[in-house]
Chain A
Amino acid sequence: MYRECGVYRSSYAEDMVLFPLPADRIGAAALLIAAVLVPPLLGEYWLRGIMIPLLIFALSALGLNFLTGYAGQLSLGQSAFMAVGAYTGVILYGRYAVALPLALLAAGLAAAVIGALAGTPSLRIKGFYLAVATLAAQFLITWTIQHVHWISGGVYATVNTPPVRLAGLVLDTALRQYYLVLAVVVLLTVFGRNLVRSRIGRAWMAIRDRDIAAGIIGIPLLRYKVLAFVVSAFYAGVAGALVVFCWYGSANIEEFDLVNSVRILGMVIIGGMGSVVGPFLGAGFVTLLPIAISVGLHAVAGWTGGHAGTDLVSSLEDVIFGSLIVLFLVVEPLGLAQLWKNVKDYLRSWPFSY
């Protein structure tokens, strides 16, 4: 039963556990066990085509959610921070033979440093103006990566990774790549969930709700705003390195464009700002739904015996996807995470209305 009745806490430690309700704990454990045990049964397609991209995008969106959802700072540069991580990771791993875990960490840190620089103007400029400032970061970073020959390594601005090795294993099967992504994502998600309910998370939310008030009650605005950029860029950097090591096999600057930044922001908004589950739901919505719609439409078109034109089917996919975004945001402007929360709140008080 999903309710708080009968859940007693007798110490501060018990009060501070990550999931206070037994039902939540069981659910989270079941999800984790499923994420570990089910994939060997899934084919390469489900891992490489669906799960790996989903987790990588969710990780980057989670990072952006700290910045946009929790600290209230709009950013359009997430994709560029992913690029910083991707190139840092592959250069350290490929050219300098740095061990993979260190390369991933360094990818996050390098992105975090650049993120700190990009976040400094946030003390003075706010809202849409900040979004434009981060837009500048997006273009400056991608321009620099392309034009500094040492980074981009030649005409293609594409750096390929050598075979990826971790602890004596070569990550060349979809399953191994998936487990690495899963491990990193679980680790950073647990860290993130704890972060947002710590002093830092509370400070971010205070800044989001009214930054002048937050300043008056003694929250150092610059430090916490820049910190939000740092954490957000760190997540993006790690996600970018995972793109290279576990998904595409190369760092190609053209994948980290503005469209990708906007897409990640879309995941945060559709998934739910200021929530840790949200980015996962949002990433699922943005990456999986078009595929499901496309497969569904082709199946339906198949029933007509090929009379439905392929042009029509392809365009209809965009129409349906667009309509669903509008529909979901009209039904629940706070995003998919809020839908999930509504269900939980309903269960908590069931069968009474409050």
Chain B
Amino acid sequence: MKSFCLWGVMTAVSLTVCAALLVPPSPGAPPGGVIKVPELVYRTGPYAPAGSTAASAREDYFALMNARGGLDGQMFQWSECEDAYDTARGVECYERNKKDMSLVFPESTGITYALIDRSVHDKIPLVTIGYGRSDATDGTTFPYAFPVLGNYWSQASAFIGYIAAREGGKGLQGKRIALLHLDIPYGREPIPVFERLSKKMGFEFRNFPLPAPGLEQTAAWVDIARRYHADYVIQWNFGQSCTVPFTAMREVNFPIDRFSGVWWCGSEEDVRPAGELAKGYVTSNFTGVGRNFPVIQQILATVYKSGKGNIDESRVGTIYYNRGVVQGIVYVEAARAALKQFGAPLTGEKMRWGLEHLTISEARLQELGAAHLMPPVALTPENHGGVSGAYFQRWDGQAWQRIPGYWQPDADLVWELIRASAAQFREQKR
């Protein structure tokens, strides 16, 4: 019996290994050639809702391009490598697929850090929209890293702009602003911006760290509401810790309309579990919300109508979905610029040129059907993007509603921090 089990196990393992060694049959190549897009995705693990929606949205956008005849006749051919948000797995996926990559969306802070050097070595641009190293904006220090849109310092600065506008131009003199954040590097990153702006604009600032994973917040909320008497609270959390405040703040009677959150706390998944409690909650975002964009309607009409959608149709137009579409637009527009300049085939080096000369103007956004889905972008070899503003959105209990306006950051301050941090990076690499 025992040896039977043993042999069963052996057979199972050898079958798996055999299957692993088989090369997947590749579909016939279209006449114009293909642009291979190997992707790092996480459809399992703690952050699966974010990972699967964004990846599928990117694929939907590529499918839309293919339905229109591809890019200069070249068809997009994407493939997925599952990394479960684990850095070691992500690096393995990258190494396995890099020969076909002309751009990589690492989709995780850990993987981004691990790929910073390798991407330079392999000449593959690393595009981290809305996360990653804020100082990667400095293209001279980080030749292959591209934040493109939004970084944490710009976002923090935009928050203060938004709150100041809410106060109606009276200024923030004497107001108390609290930052409730996960006590990990991501959560502490905006602190220098808030501290400098508090000196400049005369408001009081204090940060309240939560030990990761931040699921126990009662004590912090008592501090914020009863001791510090905060006027505004901004949360800088991730995952479940974004949802905990809605119950915790009610226990101390903190008003929801003075509570707002970072864009990684601003998806449907973050507020739905809180039900009515989250009504009136505001977060920043770097993309527009909802399905009312021509490009999303075209995806629904072309890709989903023919049953080729890459995710459940109800997810189309959710926050993470729209972020994935924006990633798709950035990919395709950079590839378009690169191909126009150098011709096929697309490589990482050409893509880097395409990104460094990426210009998506307001008019171009109109043509793409993505006006207000994302702000206009203009990158240069020195400026890899990231010093850009933020949209704000409010949860009405059913859906996110965009708050009119676009809040620009204090660009001088953000650039100052970027330069200092990039200099520190160069010092480490010397």
Residues on A lying within 8 angstroms of B by beta carbon are 44-45, 48-50, 53, 94, 139, 143, 146, 152-163, 172, 247-250, 252-255, 287, 289-300, 302-303, 310-311, 313-315, 317-318, 320, 324, 327-328, 330-331, 339
Contact = CB atoms under 8 A, between A and B. Distances in A.
Contacts of A330: 5
Contacts of B114: 247-250, 252, 255
Given A49-B92, A298-B80, A311-B43, 15 more contacts: A44-B95, A48-B91, A53-B88, A146-B183, A156-B113, A160-B116, A162-B428, A163-B429, A296-B20, A299-B22, A300-B19, A303-B25, A314-B41, A315-B44, A330-B5
B45 to A, nearest CB: 9
Given A254-B109, A331-B9, A154 B116 contact: no
Contacts of A297: 19
25 contacts: A45-B96, A94-B428, A155-B421, A156-B113, A156-B189, A157-B184, A157-B185, A158-B185, A159-B428, A160-B117, A250-B114, A254-B185, A292-B17, A293-B16, A295-B20, A299-B19, A302-B25, A310-B80, A314-B43, A314-B44, A314-B82, A314-B84, A315-B43, A331-B9, A339-B6
Nearest to A48: B95
B185 A291 contact: no
Interface string B178-198: 000001110011011000000
B247 interface: no
B199 interface: no
A329 to B, nearest CB: 11
Contact of B429 (A48, A160, A311): A160
Size bracket, chain B contacts: 35 or more
Interface string B386-430: 000000000000000000000000000000000001001100111
Contacts of A254: 109-110, 184-185
A289 B56 CA distance: 26
A296 B19 contact: yes
Interface core residue of A49, A156, A318 (most chain B CB under 10 Å): A156
B225 interface: no
Contact residues of B: prevailing secondary structure = helix
A266 to B, nearest CB: 14
Interface in B182-219: 183-185, 188-189, 191-192, 211
Contacts of B16: 289, 292-293, 296, 320
Contacts of A314: 41, 43-44, 80, 82, 84
Interface string B1-32: 01001100100110011111011110000000
Contacts of A303: 24-25
Contacts of A310: 41, 43, 52, 56, 80, 310
Contacts of A327: 5, 9, 12
Interface of B: 2, 5-6, 9, 12-13, 16-20, 22-25, 41, 43-44, 52, 56, 79-82, 84, 87-89, 91-92, 95-96, 109-110, 113-114, 116-118, 121, 133, 183-185, 188-189, 191-192, 211, 310, 421, 424-425, 428-430
Nearest to A327: B9
Contact of A49 (B9, B13, B91, B116): B91
Nearest to B82: A314
A140 to B, nearest CB: 12
Given A172-B121, A296-B16, A249 B116 contact: yes
Given A155-B421, A250-B114, A252-B113, A49 B95 contact: yes
Contacts of B87: 248, 255
A306 to B, nearest CB: 9
A156 to B, nearest CB: 5
A253 B95 CA distance: 22
Given A299-B20, A302-B24, A314-B43, A158 B92 contact: no
A298 B88 CA distance: 19
Contacts of B183: 143, 146
Given A254-B184, A302-B25, A318 B19 contact: no
B113 A324 contact: no
A204 to B, nearest CB: 30
Contacts of A162: 428-430
A44 B429 CA distance: 23
A332 B188 CA distance: 46
Contacts of A50: 92
Nearest to B420: A154
B252 to A, nearest CB: 26
A298 B24 contact: yes
Interface core residue of A154, A155, A294, A297 (most chain B CB under 10 Å): A155
Contacts of A94: 428
A274 to B, nearest CB: 21
Nearest to B99: A45
